[in-house]
Amino acid sequence: MEYSKALIDDIKEQFELPCYVFDENEFRENYLHLLNALREYYPKYDIAYSYKTNYAPKLCSIVKELGGYAEVVSDMEYDIARKVGYKNELIIYNGPFKGPKMEEHLLNNGILNIDNMNELDRVISFASNYDKTFKVGIRVNISIGQNFISRFGIDAESNDLTKAVNLIKECNNVKLVGFHCHIGQCRSLSAWENRTKQLLKLADMYIDGIPEYIDLGSGMFGDMPSDLKGQFSSVPTYEEYACVTAKIFNEHYIDIPLENKPVLFTEPGTTVDNRYIDLIAEVDGVKKLKGKDFAILNCSIHNLGDVACSVKLPIQVFECSNNSKEYIDMDFVGYTCLERDVPYKGFSGKIGKGDYIVFGNVGGYSNVDKPPFILPQCPMIGIKDSKVYVIKRKETTEDILSTYVFNEHSF
């Protein structure tokens, strides 16, 4: 998003700072870029948007309007998808801890990926009360080159997967129709090629006939500005990811008519939302301590999402006062009382009280991951074709206190 001081002045006056700003046009464009890159090879590719990364209903509604599915991992996220207007057929319920809505979802023909043997028992026992056939998928635990043991899914490299598949086969009204995997922190092309080939092989081995879907999870790099890109060893394009996923699917199912080919899902979250939300903050003051310069901001690391902890976010600075001075290796610190609350390290340039700092790439795990710690959450607005609208109003102390009980007699 292109900012000017005048635009930020306006946003400050109407909504107060800090404030999240969502760029709707660019979000849509990037979403369609990803979708079309994979559909180019495999027309039955669909996106299931990962709610955990940012479940702001506005974003979820745009995904729905663009034909995407909802990927949820809790009853809360499931409720959001339903409130956004999703039918169960277009909701994928994943995750290791499914709530009581799992059964409602199954009854209404929702897509469900089973994470573990206890959950499989739960599904089988629920199904035994009905005449209807319930379709399920299994999240498999595979190795795709990661350097840790993933805690999710059913182990495809032990007997567990065979046991799970056999248990399903023994039930006359539960049917295995898909496989799912998701391994975080594994965004390379080789990791994607690896998971694609392994899931196709498992589907050939374990599913009778052609699966209804294969869900490769998420973990693609999204499009990003070059200063952020330079902090990673390699950032593939969507076209390159398509070659190690959709192209391989196309070759694998080349002889199957389109209507019978399985749906290929991926579950992008940060891939589609990170770049399209910025946070505008303001410098509240500057100080020098033992020779080190600090700028105190009116936001905290909690506003900025996961990625701010591991990389330097792209920033734009807007000088607003005539008291700005040149600094070298200054740290921007947040409003909390945590020493680790350092949204940006090593800034060199001109800055002063009242200046604006725009943090880019904060769409994923930011507003949804902000605890009510020290201050409530700031507002979020969207901009489309220069029109500004509210996505989330500023939280108040009353919002935070609304779940606490003040009257001791009610205990």
* Binding footprint of ligand PLP on the chain (CB under 6 A): 50, 52-53, 71, 94, 182, 184, 217-219, 267-271, 364
CB of 167 to ligand PLP, least distance (A): 23
* Structure-block tokens of residue 322: 């005539």
Q: How far is CA 268 from the centre of its chain?
A: 6
Cβ proximity to ligand PLP: between 17 and 120 the closer is 120
The CB-of-226 to ligand PLP minimum distance in angstroms stands at: 21
Least distance from ligand PLP to the Cβ atom of residue 71, Å = 6
Question: Which is nearer to ligand PLP, 115 or 341 (by Cβ)?
Answer: 115
Relative to beta strand 344-351, strand 134-141 is unpaired
366 neighbors 327 (Cβ within 8 angstroms): no
CB of 73 to ligand PLP, least distance (A): 6
- Closest contact distance (angstroms) between CB of 253 and ligand PLP is 23
DSSP conformation letters of 309-336: HHSPPPEEEE--STT-EEEEEEEEE-SS
Residue 277 bridge partners (DSSP): 22
DSSP summary character for residue 383: E
* Shortest distance, position 353 Cβ to ligand PLP, whole Å: 36
Q: Which is nearer to ligand PLP, 220 or 375 (CB)?
A: 220
Q: For the chain, how long is the longest CA-to-CA vector?
A: 76
Tell me how far apart the alpha carbons of residues 230 and 232 are, in angstroms, rounded to a whole number. Answer: 6
What residues are paired with 265 via a beta bridge? Answer: 46, 215
Q: What is the DSSP string of 239-292?
A: HHHHHTTHHHHHHHTTTS-GGGSPEEEE--SHHHHGGGEEEEEEEEEEEEETTE
Output the smallest distance, CB 244 to ligand PLP, in A.
16
What would the two tokens of residue 72 be?
């949820």
Q: CB-wise, 223 or 267, nearer to ligand PLP? A: 267
To ligand PLP, the closest distance from the beta carbon of 185 in angstroms equals 9
How does strand 174-180 pair with strand 134-141?
Answer: parallel
Give the Å distances, CA to CA, from 305 to 30, 84, 211, 223, 312.
20, 24, 36, 17, 12
Q: Which is nearer to ligand PLP, 71 or 193 (CB)?
A: 71
Tokens standing for residue 209: 């006939």
CA distance 109 to 132: 10
Which C-beta is closer to ligand PLP: that of 270 or that of 324?
270
Report residue 7 as tokens.
């635009």
